[in-house]
Amino acid sequence: MLVALMGAVGILTVGMLASRPDVIVVGLPLALWAVYAISAQPPSGVIAIEIERGMEPADGWLAEEIVIRSDAEMVEAAVIQAERTRRRVFVSGDTRLRARSRVLHSGPLISVELAVRPLEADSAVIGAPQSPITAIRAVTPVIQRIPRMPIAPRLTGLHGAHEGMRPGQGGDFRDIHQFAPGDELRRVDWKATARAARRPGELLIRRNNTLSDASAVIVMDTADDLGTVVATWGTLDLESSGVTSLDHARGAARSIAAATIAQGDRIAFHTLMHGGRSVRSGGGTRHLARVVAEISACGRGGDDARFRRTPPVPHGSIIYVLSTFFDGAAAEIALRWRAVGHRVIAVDTLPELDTHRLGKERQLALRVLLTERQDMLHQLRESGVETLGWRDAPAGQLAALARVGAHSPRMGAQR
């Protein structure tokens, strides 16, 4: 408006000094518009903004509906989509916008960040901007189907799909035992009684093994979020980083949780960061939905993420520790759990590395880091912690670990 006013005054002055009516006619509309803008009232009132969640991301795209309601003539909206794309649009005071963003990673994402301000008099009068609002979405990680999972070294539940070593119901034949108070009459084995009873009135029953469920715990280390492109480490450039370690961790956590619930076992979820997310042990589809929601909401830890906590785990559980194992905190906790008798599986979530655009110094530093990491994983294996890499056919590796556990005499004795 100030530019228009100065331009109108300048044109009118030149026209009058030069006695040029045609120049004055050219500047007259601009002067009238400037007077109208000065006399117009500044925009008042609050712009009502609502961000409606769209459907779950399909084909890698996330959609949001932005509803703007205002009495102003126009509204200027500055939109940031998926923390990457920036756009500025001018719309009428009552309108709807649709924002579509390509999803590159799972986990928490600011899908839309919006700031608006009202405009009047053909945008000549600009109102005060409102505080920006954001919409945060938790992008669910991709699931991998795992047909067979390892089980805990100790079965503690009363119902499940695994045959235990205690007498009960549902399992295979255990032994023939003398009838005792509390036994069911329908379990009397009349053939065994006729053949092996030692005195009149003695009854023998047929006992079976019980079917039990196992307890599994998923522990996620959120201290690092390292991408495929090593040149992006230490930056916030998630657009060109490629698949990150937390993408692998979230995908592994969801896949393990779904496969564990599918085979009738209980699952718990924890993060190692102080004050991190936790879901107590449970089973069923509703519990799985809660676990997946917490997994999807897990992002990179803050400044205190290096200070790990040791979550409580049920006795005799199988524990999956998801980490890049670049520092010793996650490995130390895994060794501590293994020392007290838990079965621990260390899941390496580091993706395939792209070392292009690295100088000689950074290549040497990366080689040292990877060597230290390999030494740490070797120490875990020597201490009885089983390891697998999530980037290398995890379903086959977990099936192999399930077969090893099923044929282990030590684990069979514990069950």
List pLDDT tens digits, range 289-332.
999 999 999 988 765 555 567 888 888 789 999 999 988 889 99
For residue 366, the number of C-alpha atoms closer than 13 Å in the C-beta half-sphere is: 19
Encoded tokens for 119: 């405009």
Do the first three CATH levels of 48-139 and 215-414 match, i.e. the same topology?
A: no
Taking every pair of C-alpha atoms in the chain, what is the biggest distance, in angstroms? 138
Residue whose C-alpha is closest to residue 313's, from 270, 255, 257: 270
Chain centroid offset of residue 393 CA: 21
Q: How far is CA 76 from CA 81, 120, 127, in A?
A: 16, 11, 10
- Per CATH, the number for 48-139 is 2.60.40
- Per CATH, the number for 215-414 is 3.40.50
Whole-model pTM? 0.76
Angle of helix 328-339 relative to helix 360-382, nearest 10 degrees? 0
Residue whose C-alpha is closest to residue 299's, from 103, 109, 135, 63: 109
User: What pLDDT digit, counting tens, does each position of 338-384 carry?
Assistant: 998 899 999 999 999 998 888 889 899 999 999 999 999 999 999 99
Q: How far apart are CA 184 and CA 91, in angstroms?
A: 77
Q: How far is CA 183 from CA 166, 178, 179, 186, in A?
A: 15, 10, 7, 9
User: What pLDDT digit, counting tens, does each position of 122-147 carry?
Assistant: 666 777 788 888 888 888 999 999 98
Low-confidence ranges of the chain (pLDDT < 70): 1-9, 11-12, 14-16, 23-45, 55-59, 121-124, 154-177, 183, 189, 206-213, 302-308, 405-415
Q: Are 327 and 353 in contact (CB under 8 A)?
A: no
Query: What residues form DSSP beta bridges with 147?
Result: none
Residues in CB range of 56: below 8 A, 6 or more apart = 140
Q: How far apart are CA 209 and CA 344, in angstroms?
A: 26
Rounded to the nearest integer, the mean pLDDT of the chain is: 80
String of DSSP letters for 122-155: TTTEE-PPPPPEEEEEEEPPPP---S-----SS-
**Domain chopping of the chain, boundaries:** 2-29, 48-139, 162-212, 215-414
Sheet holding 386-389, edge to edge: 278-282, 266-271, 215-220, 318-323, 343-348, 386-389
Encoded tokens for 293: 């929601």
Residues in CB range of 117: below 8 A, 6 or more apart = 47, 75, 76, 126, 127, 128, 129, 130
Residue whose C-alpha is closest to residue 215's, from 335, 285, 284, 313: 313
